[in-house]
Amino acid sequence: MYVPELHKVWLCQNAQGSIYLTPKMANRHGLIAGATGTGKTVTLKVLAESFSEMGVPVFLADIKGDVSGMCLPGEDSPGFQKRIREKLGLAIDWQFAGYPVRFWDVYGKKGLPVRTTISEMGPELLSRLLELNDTQTGVMNIIFRVADEQGLLLLDLKDLRSMTQYVGDNSAAIKLQYGNVSPQSIGAIQRALLRLEDQGGDIFFGEPALDISEWFAIDTQGHGKINLLHCAELYQSPLLYSTFLLWMLSELYEILPEAGDLDKPKIIFFFDEAHLIFKDAPRSLLDKVEQIVRLIRSKGVGVYFVTQQPADIPESILAQLGNKLQHALRAYTPKERKGLKAAAQAFRPNPELNAEAALSELGTGEVLVSLLDEEGVPGVVQRAYVMPPRSYLGVCSDDLRQQQINSDYLYHKYAQAIDRESAYEVLQKRAQQAEAIPNKKEEEQNSDSLRDEIRRNAPAGKKTASTARSSRTTREAPSVLEKVATSALQTFGRTIATSLARGLLGSLLKK
């Protein structure tokens, strides 16, 4: 709970008094860890509510779908009052409140769709996500360069697939200007894109692309908007989840100016079930996340990871998390006991507290806490109870969620996907036009051949007009000769016949 008069977040309470988080140190990042059922989600909600109250926008990845009730005020109960008065030792009237929540969903089912374009992602980041080697990354850069020079927009995955195929088909011509493009590299990129598409990349890449500045909204009461990303389906696609995380942090790093040390952060990010982000992640992805987490603090952005074991976070990233709230850990195996010991040793020692022993004894809602003071120095580890949330502990109804989505002024901006003409459509038209030219020539050649064939094979009485005229001319020319020959033969025949008759008669008379 944010305490305006102190300019601090009242986060925990123990026998020694209240434990506060200094807003100035909130952008030094943080860790919320603990076994299942120990109260991590409640701690997450308390922090998110407190940042919202101080006017800091929040982004929260809701993996299990159980924090959507933040839009509703909490409910009093005997159990709640017992916790307030007995465990926390407070004699106050607790004020419940709802918070301004904006729902988002990459799949567009339980929130406003979250999209970005291939061009905004860029060749380097895409290559890291697709686990391409140096040679394949070079080809990816060529694909983007050729698209830029030819004015072809790369908006969604089908654009990138079409452009990849185009570069592969024209590799001989492209080679002279950009270098070799091998079929093996083209095939590797196409297979990686297919894998990303199977995990929902065809939904994530497209238009209208999210303007990430929409997450910096403040409501009319001065409360920061809580941007809640529904991840119940998204986290089942680790590659897409990592893609989203890295794009989001990279985009923020690029658009935000250097801010130095601010009185409070510009925005806070919470990533629940953070082990899903780093599990089986490629080294290149881990390096990029570490780089951004290390540098984005100076932009006024705080990142908080929520997970079960601190060991789920790579050490290089864990070292950047200054504010730590460790819930109970269970140690049933030698490996778990080793992890418990390492978690206890990560805190600044407190001579009055055995942190290792306490970790296995903590109750629900109880933590070992170490926060940065105003000078950025980690406080000694303390055992304390986390303050209760003021919003509803549960899930809001689907009807209420949909009502909030439809009433949001951003609904008409992002709800409907747009598929305008881009690289895929342009290349399709080019291919159709290229096919049309040889087809026309072939049709003309076939037409000439057909006419010749008709002339040769047309039967009598069914000839064409030109063929009939030619036949008549041919018949008329020999008819004159026939007449002359016939007349000559007739004359010659009569002469011979007369001579023969006279000879025969003369011989008979002499006898």
13, containing H or E segment = strand 8-14
Q: Which residue has the tokens 């297979």?
A: 191
Helical residues (DSSP H) of 268-321, grouped into ranges: 275-278, 283-295, 315-318
Strands 226-230 and 366-370: unpaired
Better pLDDT: 274 or 366: 366
pLDDT of residue 495: 52
Q: Are the CB atoms for 252 and 296 separated by under 8 Å?
A: yes
**pLDDT tens per residue across span 296-355:** 888 999 999 999 888 888 888 898 899 999 999 988 888 888 888 888 888 999 999 999
Q: How many CA atoms lie within 13 A of 161 on its CB side?
A: 16
Percentage of the chain with pLDDT > 90? 46
- Cα gap 373→379, rounded to integer Å: 7
Question: Which range, of 29-33, 95-99, 404-408, 433-437, averages the lowest pLDDT?
Answer: 433-437
| Ramachandran assignment for 17, one of left (phi > 0), alpha (psi -120 to 50 degrees), beta (any other) | left
pLDDT of residue 279: 74
pLDDT band at 459 (very low <50, low <70, confident <90, very high): low
Q: Which residue has the tokens 């694909």?
A: 143
- Selection from 175-179, 207-211, 234-238, 458-462 with the highest mean pLDDT: 207-211
SS3 content of the chain, % helix, strand, coil (to 5): 55, 15, 35
pTM strictly above 0.75: yes
